[in-house]
Amino acid sequence: MSNIIEFTKEMKKDYTILVPDMAPVHFKIIMPVFIQEGYHVELLDNQGSGVVNSGLKYVHNDTCYPALLVIGQMIDALNSGRYDIHKVALLITQTGGGCRASNYIHLLRKALVKAGYGFIPVISLNMSGLEKNSGFKLTIGMLRKAIAGMVYGDLIMHLANQCRPYEITKGTTDELVDKLGAKCASYLNANKGYSIHQMKDICKMIVQEFAKLPIEKTIKPKVGIVGEIYVKYAPLGNNNLEKFLQTQDVEYMVPGLMGFALFKVDNRLEDIKLYGGNIGKKVVCQILFDYLQKMEGVMAEAVQKYSSFVPIGRYAHTKELVKDIVGYGFKMGEGWLLTAEIMELCDQGYENVVCTQPFGCLPNHINGKGMIRKITTVMPKANIVAIDYDPSATKVNQENRIKLMLSIAREKLK
């Protein structure tokens, strides 16, 4: 592809790399991994109508909402005057696979050209070797640290969500989230905290900190959030869904990033199982898969050992749940995982599920809306609402539908 501007070694010295913030808790912890390697990274936090309008202006309006938002956010940031646009690079993930998401980076480049920023290099963060840049390399060390950061993020999120609705002093949970997040970040920044041994200690510390938090348990509806990965986590993508739920007197759980990471690696193994393939590739994937599972174990065991919190749903268990519902070969987007996460949530008592998706999301026709009926036949208690997100879908209508789901949830509690 001739139109690619490479991110060179020279650029690494003084370019600022802008990164869209998909999962606020996680990304704050993971950022030091890049800073430590000498990259000047900055998480984008600009919001508001400028973001959506830039997206609408430079991206095909039928493209999925996350692409529109992420690209809109980047262009809005470039337009803001906050950056020297000749010393800026953009970073975007590229998962690979048959979903439109693999094309985000190309849509971003097209949009940049249209907006007059065609000279800005775009870095693809991917693990499939789709694109390479001489100035940006994902080393094994970085990968391990990033995985550690992801584990901490998942763990903090998992516990915080169980404390926040019941905290005695308002705001203490989020204070703890910030404090622990900063702590984890500082470990990684000091090149520590990613060996199995250290991680066990840190996870233990995190669990114990949350266990100490003064809470008063009452009976509240339990809500789960699943969805397309960006819309599920990013407040920008889901109209501050979590903030809304916090005002509705419910407890909610959001499955972590670890499941998605395992799913993406596992897909390659499934692919080989279904269609045959290279043995070497299989070995590499298996190693990575085992490593991730071990990491998952570290955090899951910490929760079980040191607290009475609802345990973390393990990938293997989640996968088992969906066995008779949908095939493991369904790998595009969130694939079978989304369906499985709904079931895992129900299994853990979070039977009231908000299934978030960008309007017209292709895989979601199948794993989300397409599976609701089937799920409710095997799990009759499941109370699922599918919500579309889109540049002009209004908060009123989204919240009204969620409220309906919550009314039923409340009645079931009686």
Partner 1 sequence: MKLGLDVGSTTIKCILLDEDDNIIYSSYERHLSKIVEKTIELLTYIKENYIQDHKCKLMISGSAGMGMAQCNDIDFAQEVFATKIACERLNPDTDVVIELGGEDAKILFISNHLEVRMNGSCAGGTGAFIDQMATLLNCDAATLDKLADNAKRSYTIASRCGVFAKTDIQPLLNQGALKEDIALSIFYAIVNQTIAGLAQGRPIKGNVLYLGGPLTFLKNLRKCFDKTLNLEGKCPENSLYYVALGAAFSATNSYNLDELIAKLQNYSNHTTFAYIEPLFKNEQEYQEFKERHDKAKIEHADPKSYKGKAYLGIDSGSTTLKCVVIDEQGKILIEDYRTNKGNPVELIKDFLINLYTQYPNIEIVGSGCTGYGEDIVKHAFKVDEGLVETIAHLTSAKAFKKDVDFIIDIGGQDMKCFKIHNGTIDNIFLNEACSSGCGSFLQTFATNLGYDIETFAKKGLFAKMPVDLGSRCTVFMNSSVKQAQKDGASIDNISAGLSISIVKNAIYKVIRCSSVEELGKNVVVQGGTFYNDAVLRAFEQELKTNVIRPNIAGLMGAYGAALYVKNKKYQKSSILTLPELLNFEHKVSSVNCGLCENHCQLTVNTFSGNRKYISGNRCERPITKKTKGNDLNIYESKRQLIKTYHTDSGYRNITIGMPLGLNMYELLPFWNAFFASLGFKVITTDFSNRATYLKGQNSIPSDTVCFPAKLMHGHVEELIEKGADVIFYPCMSYNVTNKHADNNYNCPVVAYYPEVLKANMDSLKKVVYINDYVGIHKPMAFVHKMTNILKKYFDDIHHRDVFKASRKAYQAYQEHMDKIYAMGDKIVSEARKENAPIIVLAGRPYHIDPEISHGIDQMIASFGCAIVSEDYVAHCNSKAYRVKVLNQWTYHSRLYDACEYVVDQKDMNLVQLVSFGCGCDAITSDECRSLLEEKGKIYTQIKIDEISNLGSIKIRIRSLLEALKQEKETDSHE
**Distance between CA atoms of residues 338 and 118, nearest Å:** 36
Residue closer to partner 1 (CB basis): 162 or 238 = 238
Residue closer to partner 1 (CB basis): 310 or 408 = 408
Pick from 161, 189, 188: which is nearest to 176 by CA?
161
CB of 298 to partner 1, least distance (A): 32
Residue closer to partner 1 (CB basis): 109 or 319 = 109
For residue 289, what are the CA distances in angstroms to 16, 259, 294?
A: 32, 11, 9
CB of 86 to partner 1, least distance (A): 21
Residue closer to partner 1 (CB basis): 118 or 141 = 118
Q: Tokens 């997040």 belong to which residue?
A: 181
Query: Which own/partner pairs from 180-185 qualify as long-range (CB within 8 Å, at least 24 positions apart)?
Result: 180/152, 180/156, 180/206, 180/209, 181/25, 181/28, 181/29, 181/152, 181/153, 181/156, 182/28, 184/29, 184/149, 184/152, 184/153, 184/156, 185/28, 185/29, 185/31, 185/32, 185/149
CB of 297 to partner 1, least distance (A): 29
Burial class (CB in 10 A: 0-12, 13-18, 19+), 96: middle
Residue closer to partner 1 (CB basis): 169 or 278 = 278
Residue closer to partner 1 (CB basis): 4 or 142 = 4
Residue closer to partner 1 (CB basis): 2 or 218 = 2
CB of 277 to partner 1, least distance (A): 8
CB of 74 to partner 1, least distance (A): 15
CB of 391 to partner 1, least distance (A): 6
Region of 286 please: left (phi>0), alpha (psi -120 to 50) or beta: alpha
DSSP state of 167: B
CB of 274 to partner 1, least distance (A): 5
CB of 342 to partner 1, least distance (A): 13
Give backbone dihedrals phi and psi of 134, rounded to 5 degrees, phi first: -70, -25
Please report, for the chain, how many H helices and E strands are present, in that order: 17, 8
Answer yes or no: are the C-beta atoms of 358 and 65 closer than 8 Å. Answer: yes
Residue closer to partner 1 (CB basis): 49 or 191 = 49
User: Could you write out the DSSP letters of every residue in 45-74?
Assistant: ---SHHHHHHHHHHS-TTS-HHHHHHHHHH
